[in-house]
Structure formats: C-alpha cells, structure tokens
Chain A
Amino acid sequence: MKTEKTTTSRQGKEGLAAEVASLLVKNIRDYAMYIALAVIFLIFSIATNGLFVSSRNLINLVNQTGYVAVLAIGMTLILIIKHIDLSIGFVAGFLGAVAAILLMNGWNVWIVIPVVLLCGVLVGVYQGFLVTKIKVPAFVTTLAGMFMFRGLLSMVTAGTGTIIVRDRTFLQLSNGYIPDLPWGANLDFHLLTLIVGIGLVFAMIYSQVKHRQSLKRYDFETTSMSIFVIKQAALSILIMVVTWIMATYRGIPWTAVIVSVVLLIYNFMLTKTRFGRHIYAIGGNAEAAELSGIKVNRVTFLVFASMGLMAALGGMLYTSRLASATPTAGLGFELDAIASSYIGGVSVGGGVGRVTNTIVGALVIMSLTNGMNLLGVDISFQYVVKGAIFILAVAFDVFTRKRGNA
C-alpha cells in the first residue's frame, strides 16, 4: 500500500497513463455509466446537429429527469435491501392526479403538497406493513399495488379525463426557475446561478481534499496527486459549464433545486448515519444484520415509507411538468426508476449502491428518451431501446461483479 503511493508519485508521465488505465480497469463498473452518458450525448449531438446540447434542450432534460430522479432515489434504497417496488409508477400517477383534483377544487397549493406527500407515505406504510409484518413478498405486494393504483387513477380521472392544472405556484415546480438577486437585473446572465455554481465548485474541492487527507492519514490507498488534480479540474469545469448554460438561459430550474435537496438528504442519510449503515447491512446479509441487533423489519418498513414519499413527490413533479394529470400517467415509471438505479451501480445482489450514482443513471435513461424524442423515434421502438439498455446495464453489472469476485 505504502510502496504503491511512493512509486506512483515518482513515475512520470508513463506512470500516469498506467495509473489511469489501472483505475479504469479497477473501477470499470463506476466509470461505465459516465462513459455511457458521454457516448449518448455525443451520438445525439451529432444526430440532431447540436440541438440536443442546446441550452434550451439541456434545461428541458433537467426538468424531465426530475420525477424519474426522485423515484429512482427511493427505489435505490428498496433495491439495496433486496426488495422491489413495481407499484410506484401508478402510485405516482395516482397521487399526481390527487394533487391536480385538490388544486382544481380550490385547495391552497401549500396544503396540497404536504397532504399528497403524506398520502404517499401512507401508501408506503401500507405496502411496508404487508412486506414486513404479513411477510408477503415485495414483488407480490407491489404487483398488486400496481393494479390497484392503476385502477384508482382511472377512477379519479374517469369523469373529467385529463385534469388541467392552472395553479402558478404548482406549475413552477417543474417549469420555473429560481429568482435572481436584485443586483443581477441588468446583467445578461443569471447572477445567483453563477454564484451557486462557483460555490459548488469550492465546496466540492474542499470536501474532496478533506476526504483525501483522511485517507492519507490512515494509510489507505489513494490515487496519485496528478490524477486527483486532473479529476478535480475536470469536475470543476463540468460544473462551471453546466452553470454557465443555466446562467445564460433562465437560471437554475426549481426541479434541479428540489432534486438536489432530496439527493443531499438521502446521500447524507445513506453514507453518514446509522440508519444508512443499517440499510447496507441488511442488503449485505439480512440474517447477519438481525443478529447484529439491527431491527430489519423496522428499517424495511421505513424504506417502503420513504419510497411512498418519493412516489408522491415524483407524481407531483410529473403533473406539474405536463400541467395536467392524465389517465395514463405513471406508465412505466417503475421501470425507469429501476433501470436508473441499476445503471447507477446498484447491485442486483443487494447491499451495494449510491444515490449520487443513481442520479447519473436517471440522466442516462432520460437522455435516451429526450434524444429519441428529438429524433422523432417511434415510441414503440423507444421501449425496445430502453429495455435493451436496461438489460445490458444489469448484465454488465453481474458480469463485472462476478469477475471481481473470482
């Protein structure tokens, strides 16, 4: 371990290339999704003559990804503890419709949002109860849920058909942008967005340096200094490019803010808290977790409740995005969420996965959708492509993990 550190810093350029190669091989699973994302971006940019990477479309992509991203975050936890939730598509669709109906009936938006979120938690509690107390397998529980909520969605939209949402605040969720600072009024870019972007870069570098220092302190393996600097520079540039695109357009979309907050909370919970450790422990070996004093049933129950909460949020983001609730909203969302998680590196065997990577997985899935829509690819064929990408991602995951264990 120690020798590796000293040799890498001593080897010059050749050593750097070798280290990059070895990093790639070792972490192929983690890098694969970034590579996939880059390839998708490249292909669609060429195929659409640059339309795909226009500011307008990229912002569009962010807004479209919002609902899948929050669903996928909830799903990641479910998959880590080796369960599944097939119902979330129509739970999201149904709760989105509930929000639309309440708004139509003149409820205040600030009451509607918490009420719908609470409904989502209740759905999760109900399914969690069946899974943990009655011991009905999650697959069966949520398959039944899928039918029930599909039916409920049809019922509540039966009289009116599509329900139009007119509440301005609610529409802001997936179509609005954060306001600018008063001093930014005369600039031709969004000042607050730029400030946030620069702040993010500093925060990232600070936390990475701190992390690296603590790795060094305990003599753990670290990458060489040059790799570290290159990585930070690349990420900083990426953040600044994205920031600039948003700043010169209309600023940061509210969707991005909402997803970021959810992501921050879940990432903190998973990586820093006891609850997060317990989730990974259960996914790794539920029996061992139980004998280690972890209340497996309670954690499982809470994870399902959180899934319900995310389904409600996702449903509202989608309704806001379309400015309406439709009888077919939610169709296939669960697949997008599951695919995002697996593409983002959740293990099919459980116990492994990060919500930060899941977001990248969601971007992969939604870039595909977005790009194919731009190209006017038939929706039927889109399903085929998405299914193929999904199974490729999982097969790749299984393959690389098997190799890693051998």
Chain B
Amino acid sequence: MAKDLILEMRNITKEFPGVKALDRVTFEVERGEIHCLVGENGAGKSTLMKVLSGVYPFGSYEGEIVLNGKVQEFRHISDSERQGIAIIYQELALFPELPVYENIFMGNEIVNGRVIDWNETKVRAAKMLKRVGLNVDPSTKIKELGVGQRQLVEIAKALSKDVDLLILDEPTAALNEEDSENLLNLLRELKSQGVTCIMISHKLKEIVAIADTITVLRDGCVVTSLDAKEHKIEEQEIIKHMVGREIENIYPAREVTVGDIAFEVKNWTAVDRASGREILHNVNLNVRKGEIVGLAGLMGAGRTELALSLFGNVPGYDIRSGEVYLNGKRVEFKHPADAISAGMSYVTEDRKGNGLILIQDVKFNVTVSALEKLVHQLVVNENEEITVANEYRESFDIRTPSVQTPTGTLSGGNQQKTSLAKSLFSEPSLVILDEPTRGIDVGAKFEIYSLMNQLVARGMSIIMISSELLEVLGMSDRIYIMSEGTITGEIDAEDATEEKVMAMATKTVEEAV
C-alpha cells in the first residue's frame, strides 16, 4: 500500500562555507502523523527545517521539496506559509507588550475593507485559544503569560493560518513537565483533527510517548527512520542511533564523601520592588562540601530568582529577611562581584542572553569574571590568559578552532562548557548551575555531568537548578523542591521518585506551611 505522503524532501544537500550541513537527506512525512526529528546538536535538524520553510531559499540548496505531490520552490517563509506550513521556533516570536489576540493575527490581520476588524479578531482569537486549550482572556498581554502559555499562543497563531503541516522546534525545551504534558496532549488532539506535525526535540521521553515516526539525523545524514506506530521504540535505541554508540548510563556514577555544611541560607524572603509581590518566602537550604544539591520545581517556582537574589541580588529585590553563610561565615553580597570574590559562582540558564559575551572569543569569556588573577601592575597578562584558556579548552574538551574564536560561533554544548570554565576560573567553592544541560545534546550532557562529578570530587559544592526531573534524580545527592517562591520539600536522592518530587513541586504555599 502506497503511503499518503504530505511531504517528501529528496536528496537535500545544503552547504555552508567549509561545512556540509546536510548531505543528501531524504525525509518523508506521512499525512496526519507526528514525526519526530532527533539528533545531536549540529546534526542538521534545524537546517533541514529552514530549508523546508524557505528561510534558506530555493537555489541555496540541492534537492527537491515535494509537498502534496507538487514540487515546491520556496523563496521566502511567506511562500511556505501560503502552502500551509507553519514553523514555531525555540525562541518565541511574540510581542510581549501586545495582547494575545493581536499577536495571534499579527501579519495575518482580519481586515474589513482597509481597516482592521478588531471585534472579529477578538472573537476568532477566542476560538483559537479554545482550540489549543488555553484559558485566558484574549486581551491579556503576552508579558503576563508564562512560557507554556506563550507556546500555546504561538500554536494558536499557526493554526489561525490554516496549517496542514506544523513544525515545532524544541517546543518543550523551556516548559516544565506539566506544561509539556499539556502541549503533547494538544499535539495529539491536533493530529486527530488532521494536522501533521514535525517536532524537533531533545527530550527522548516525550518522543517515545508521542511519535509515530522517529527520524534520526547525525552529521547531516539520515541515520534511520523508525516506525513507532506498531511497536514502542526504546529511548536506548534512539540514543544509540544518535551518538552511534551505546551510552550505558547517562548519569555517570561518582564516589564522593560529603563533608560539612559549606553554604547555608536561612529565612530568605525577598520582595520585588516594582510590583510589591513576594518573590521568595522564607527559604531555608544548605549545601555540604562535595555535595550536588538539586533544586527542582516547575517553571516560575522562583528557583532562578532565588539564585540571582543570593548571587549579589542582581534583580535588586528588597530582601526582607534572611541570612546567608558561606563556609561558616555570614556574608552579604551587594553585587555579583562580592559573591564571586567570596567564592561563589553562577552559571546562567540563558547562556546566549546573559551568560556569554558572544562577540568576544573563548579566552575573553573564560577569564572575564576573575581578570585580577591575570593582572600584574595594571596589565592583563595575555600570555597567561591564553595558557589558562587553553588549559580549560583541553580539560573540558571545548571544541573550538582556537581560544581566539568568538563564542557566538560555537555549538550549544561547547558554549555551555565555556560558561562552566568561566565560572570555575574564579575558583569558587560553591557553584550554582541553572539548567546546565538545556538545549544541548546527549553526548555533551554526559560530558557536563562528568565535569560536575569532577568538581565535587575536588571538594566543591554544587546547586543544580533543573526542570528535567530525571536529571535532578540522576545527578543529585539531595533534592530541594520549590513551589511558589518557597521550599516545599527536601528529599534524599535515594528515596526520591519522579512522583514524589512532582507532588511537592505542585504544592501551594498554604499546603507547604
């Protein structure tokens, strides 16, 4: 029986100066299926989707795109949109200051003659929101919505254009488990309505749960296409295809004896000055020497806010109460500089946004937060700087042509390793890692985990904020769970299960107290 193909990409080859990003890729999508595209970073997933959507125009690649049986020559995104293809990127393209309804019909306005028909827009927007199961007033501004809700608005926007083929680039990367689950349910619902989905994802658990077909890319080539309709595909099998080898245990084992308390926070309460809202409520936690403490919770639970308020109070909160002890001494950090010089460092969840200085090279970034170590009589010793950067490049296996390469050109995993190197150059005794493996591939994740193990083996303490439950369970010695700005639970990793952590993460403040 011939398959009913909505899309065929035949022998697609796309070259960039010096690299073959796609090498004769043939990719087929059946009508009405959910097709997952997986592969390590740099495997060519996003490039393939950009070719499909017309970001890379016809002529800049070799090969053929056949949509609904017709050969297509997309020269611009609008061409592919007209043919019913919509792509939703990892970085959402919404206007925070505008209401939901305006965002949904942005660029696709409902006009009555020459003027926009706002009433009709609102009515249609409400319908779209209902279709994606988002229960908010269409007049709400985007900035008031959470990440998960924004994702749904993006999908509503795509649906408003009558899409047949919806492409999602890591839709759940920034979502917590609950929102992710909602999103996956929505995709199933859309599937039943006849919408075809291509989803790029790093989260294998989701892929296994939702995919009809799984295509694995590696180094610009299709490794395999697995049919998941008939029988369940195991995560291990996907990983094997992705990395070309089997990774026995994603979370490397470590043997570290945990020492005394290195860092302690008592009764930490912080208020946002602008809104007067209590962001953090009476937080108590501690970390021991050589210990990895996981900080779990849903998006918006206040974990990053806690980290930033401790790390020199970057957001400028009004700290209503609380004490912080580092290595037994009471400390008060007015600026990240104080925290860094006292031996604390923070690796941000958003390495491109506020982590690295992308136009500067690897050595600049590695040394920037502790330059005083390289200064002799006012002058930054560049030879020493290069030596230091090269040491990190080797020990962390940062894959870069040289330490003079701008960090903006590195892959996600290598950027993350550079961020890590940067935070370690100041020789901290406590490192807070905020979503250390977000958006990086399985291989690089394993390397980051191994590095974390090395650090605690050297006597450092780590607080790891993570939205990936398995990672928290796999890497932590002890887990704190946050919800609504306070700690709702503490549990030893040995006793922890996904269910237990999830239950505490969804507690409200009233229940916790």
Contacts and interface: CB of A to CB of B under 8 A. Distances in A.
B378 A273 contact: yes
A214 B213 CA distance: 54
A219 interface: yes
Contacts, number: 91
Contacts of B390: 218
Contacts of A349: 359
Contact of B380 (A220, A272, A284, A405): A272
Max chain B Cβ within 10 angstroms of own Cβ: one of A217, A277, A295: A277
Interface stretch (A64-72, A125-133, A285-293): A285-293
B357 A284 contact: yes
A287 B353 CA distance: 8
A264 to B, nearest CB: 14
Given A220-B404, A290-B336, A293-B341, A284 B386 contact: no
Contacts of A218: 383, 386, 390
Contacts of A287: 353-354
Contacts of A295: 335, 337
A218 B385 CA distance: 11
A351 interface: yes
A335 interface: no
B369 A280 contact: no
B348 interface: yes
Interface of B: 311-312, 314, 335-337, 339-341, 346, 348, 353-360, 364, 368-372, 375, 378-380, 382-383, 386, 390, 401-402, 404, 408, 422, 426
Contacts of A294: 337, 368-369
Contacts of B340: 292-293
A349 B408 CA distance: 15
A281 interface: yes
A293 B360 contact: no
A404 B378 CA distance: 33
A352 B359 contact: yes
A13 interface: no
The 10 A-B residue pairs whose C-beta atoms are closest, nearest first, are A284-B357, A287-B354, A292-B369, A293-B337, A293-B340, A285-B357, A274-B371, A293-B336, A272-B379, A293-B369
A1 interface: yes
Nearest to B354: A287
Nearest to B353: A287
Interface in A335-390: 349, 351-352
A214 B356 contact: no
B126 to A, nearest CB: 37
A356 to B, nearest CB: 17
A277 B379 contact: no
Contacts of B348: 288, 291
Contacts of B402: 1, 219-221
Contact of A288 (B354, B380, B382): B354
B378 A272 contact: yes
Interface string A321-337: 00000000000000000
A292 B428 CA distance: 13
B15 to A, nearest CB: 14
